[in-house]
Chains A and B, each alone.
Chain A
Amino acid sequence: MQRHEVLVIGAGLAGQRAALAAAQAGRNVGLVSKLHPLRSHSGAAQGGINAAVGAEDSVETHIYDTVKGSDYLGDQDAIEFFCTEAGSTVVEMEHFGTIFSRAPDGSLARRPFGGAGFPRTIYAADRTGLALLQAIYEHLGTEEIQTYEEWDLVELVFRDGRAQGVVVYNRRTGEFEGIGARAVVLATGPAGRVYSRTTNSHSSTGDGIALAYRAGAQLKDMEFVQFHPTALLESGILITEGARGEGGILKNASGERFMVRYAPHVQDLASRDVVSRAIVTEINEGRGFPGGYVHLELMHLGKEKIESRLQEICDFARNFAGVDPVTEPIPVLPAQHYMMGGIGTTMRGETNLAGLYAAGEAACVSIHGANRLGGNSLLETLVFGKQAGIAAAAYSATVTDGTVLPEEIEHAAAPVRAMMARTEGAEPLPLRAEMQAVMERRAGIYRNDADLRAGIQELFALRAKRATLRIVDRSTVFNLNVTDALETRNLLDLAEVILAGALARTESRGAHARTDFPTRDDAHWMKHTIAGYNPLGPQLSYAPVAYTRWDPKERVY
Chain B
Amino acid sequence: MVESVAVPISVYRYDPGRDAAPRYVDYTLDMPRHTPVLTALLRIRSEVDSTLSLRYSCRSSICGSCAMVINSKSRLACQTQVGPELDLHGRIVVDPMRNQPVLRDLVVDQGPFWQDYERIVPHLVPDPAHPMPVGKPNPMTPEEVDRFYETPRCIACGACYSACPAKEADPTFPGPMALAKLYRFVVDPRDGARRERLLRIQPGGLWTCLRCHLCTSSCPKDVRPSERIRDLKELAIQEQGATEAGSRHAVAFKENLHDRGLLNEMRLVRQTDGVVGMLRQAPQGLRLARKKPELLKKPRRIEGQEQVQKLYELLEDEEGGA
Contacts and interface: CB of A to CB of B under 8 A. Distances in A.
A172 B65 contact: no
A201 B57 contact: yes
B293 interface: no
B274 interface: no
Contacts of B45: 429, 480
B57 A91 contact: no
Nearest to B141: A106
Interface in A171-218: 172, 201-203
B141 A139 contact: no
Contacts of B53: 473, 475, 477-480
Given A235-B59, A475-B51, A88 B123 contact: no
A223 interface: no
B83 to A, nearest CB: 10
A43 B65 CA distance: 12
Interface stretch (A33-41, A359-367, A393-401): A33-41
B158 to A, nearest CB: 10
A138 interface: yes
A99 interface: yes
A96 B190 CA distance: 10
Contact of A142 (B17, B18, B123, B152): B123
Nearest to A97: B124
B208 interface: no
A127 B105 CA distance: 31
Contacts of B79: 319
A433 B50 CA distance: 14
A433 B46 CA distance: 9
B155 interface: yes
A322 B82 CA distance: 13
A332 B106 CA distance: 33
Contacts of A201: 57-59, 63
B246 interface: no
B199 interface: no
Given A99-B145, A127-B153, A91 B136 contact: yes
B50 A478 contact: no
A102 B147 CA distance: 13
A429 B144 CA distance: 47
A438 B132 CA distance: 52
A107 B145 contact: no
Contacts of B261: none
Interface string A306-329: 000001100110011010000000
Interface in B80-119: 81, 103-105, 107, 110, 114, 118
Contact of B36 (A127, A320, A430): A320
Contacts, number: 155
A484 B46 CA distance: 10
Interface in B135-192: 135-142, 144-145, 148, 152-153, 155-156, 188, 190
> Which one of B57, B141, B156 has the highest number of Cβ atoms from chain A below 10 Å of its Cβ?
B57
Interface in B35-87: 36, 45-46, 50-51, 53-54, 56-65, 79, 81
Nearest to A104: B142
A95 B152 contact: no
A96 B135 CA distance: 13
17 contacts: A35-B57, A38-B156, A43-B155, A91-B135, A97-B123, A104-B142, A106-B139, A106-B141, A238-B60, A312-B62, A316-B61, A319-B61, A319-B79, A475-B18, A478-B105, A480-B50, A480-B51
The 4 closest A-B pairs by CB, nearest first: A106-B139, A138-B123, A473-B51, A94-B137
Interface of B: 15-18, 34, 36, 45-46, 50-51, 53-54, 56-65, 79, 81, 103-105, 107, 110, 114, 118, 122-124, 132, 135-142, 144-145, 148, 152-153, 155-156, 188, 190, 221
Given A201-B63, A473-B53, 19 more contacts: A38-B64, A38-B155, A39-B58, A99-B188, A102-B142, A104-B141, A108-B137, A127-B62, A134-B152, A141-B118, A201-B58, A202-B57, A237-B59, A312-B153, A316-B60, A319-B79, A320-B60, A475-B18, A478-B107
